[in-house]
Amino acid sequence: MATADADVDAEVPRAASSPVEPPLPPLDEIVAALTEYRWLARTYVIEYHVERLAERLPPAWQAALAATPLPEVTRRLLSGDDEGLAAWPDSLRAYAVACRRLALDRRPRGFHGAPPCELDRALLSGLSDKKRHEIERLVPVVAHVVRAARATLVVDIGSGVGHLARTLAYLVGVDVVGIEGNPAYVAGAVERDAKCAALLAGRARAGDAAAAALLARRRATRHLAHFVRTDTDGAAFEALVRRALDLRPGAPTPPLVIVGLHTCGDLGPTLLRLFAEQPFVRGVVSVACCYMHMTEDSDDEFVAPPPAGRLGYPLSRAVADRLPDAHLGWKLREMACHALDAYEARARVAPA
Ligand SMILES: C[S@@+](CC[C@H](N)C(=O)[O-])C[C@H]1O[C@@H](n2cnc3c(N)ncnc32)[C@H](O)[C@@H]1O
């Protein structure tokens, strides 16, 4: 997430032990590792047997890995302690060190000490446990960014049936526009907004103070059916927002924060680009996913020719210049979606 304004609102709760984001690994080291281990990174886990992937490893690695219990292999590749690494050949040890050094820290942490919010049952309707978990953690983050950016509008792009947009309108105190490419989802979002408001109104009439407080705090939610293409520029995006808000000519476009929960493929990069290019986009909160659906100018067998518009990857010139001929490719981007923790857990219970 990012804000265009570094001046963070003093109201935002910050625990004394507010966690500090660890610095990202240097790009040059990532490029060097991607180049050196490309042959390994481009293998695809479900082809393990048919492609006999284990046999493609250097013979010294095969012998060392065969002699190491699976949970221990994972521990050596992922954990910070060096115990046991000495038993591996130099080249495998160097690979393990690169993995540890360049992997992002996936330990869960709070955001500036803000606890997850608790959703009223009217906002829980239709939410899976997973979506609830995500929204309860994302809302305080968006609230923080909105305040830090002094924004008065949130635009949720790829808003689906509007769970996040609806929750933000009730809990963050800003107007919300949801932009969604699938018109059926937009209709679903409008319907669910109405149902939620009716539920709360009924409870408020029956004397439920929490429901009345939510209704009193609620801001407007508008939904627009529109597919945001990778070549949507700032002017087109601004026109879209103005249309959703029904702003008259001459009325200023409100300073806004873009959010996206599960911004599949190219949508994530598009959100970041709109933030980087447009001054009225004061902040961005994007939880990206499905990296394999990003367009890349690649000769990879799985990648269709890029459509008209801009590429999803690489997004930055710094990366494009350093990796001129090194496409990531479908397999590597797909692997980036897998949860390392899930593999680690499976390795822990694997038979010796
Ligand atoms: C994985 S769903 C997430 C929906 C919602 N944000 C949530 O978390 O429940 C992604 C949504 O983004 C929409 N979408 C994907 N690309 C889009 C685009 N370029 N413009 C508008 N909507 C898009 C899809 O139709 C889908 O509803």
Q: Whose CA is nearest to atom 8 of ligand 1?
A: 261
Distance 167 CA to ligand 1 centre (A): 17
Out of 16-25, 92-101, 174-183, 214-223, pick the least confident: 16-25
Out of 43-47, 181-185, 302-306, 326-330, pick the least confident: 302-306
Q: pLDDT > 90: what percent of the chain? A: 56
- CA–chain centroid gap for 215, Å, is 30
Give the pairing of strands 281-289 and 2-3.
antiparallel
Residue 314 has pLDDT above 90, yes or no: no
Residue 6 has pLDDT above 50, yes or no: no
Distance 21 CA to ligand 1 centre (A): 28
Residue 131 has pLDDT above 70, yes or no: yes
Phi-psi region of 208 (alpha: psi -120 to 50; beta: other; left: phi over 0): beta
Instruction: Give residue 230's pLDDT band: very low, low, confident or very high (50, 70, 90).
Output: confident
283, 258 contact by CB (below 8 A): yes
Direct distance between the N- and C-terminal alpha carbons of the chain, in angstroms, rounded to an integer: 42
Distance 265 CA to ligand 1 centre (A): 10
- The C-alpha atoms of residue 38 and residue 325 are separated, in whole angstroms, by 12
| DSSP 8-state assignment for residue 55 | G
Out of 5-9, 84-88, 191-195, 274-278, pick the least confident: 5-9
Looking at domain 2-20+113-289, its CATH class is: alpha beta
Q: What is the mean pLDDT of residues 145-159?
A: 96
- DSSP result, 31-48: HHHHHHTHHHHT--GGGT
Q: What is the mean pLDDT of residues 169-182?
A: 96
In the chain, what are the domain boundaries? Answer: 2-20+113-289, 27-107+338-349
Q: What is the mean pLDDT of residues 115-134?
A: 94
Q: What is the pLDDT of residues 46-63, one digit of tens each?
A: 888 898 999 999 999 999
To the nearest 5 percent, what fractions of the chain are helix, strand and coil?
50, 10, 40
- 73's CB contacts (< 8 A; 6+ apart) are 65, 347
Q: Whose CA is nearest to atom 13 of ligand 1?
A: 158
Instruction: Give residue 308's pLDDT band: very low, low, confident or very high (50, 70, 90).
Output: low
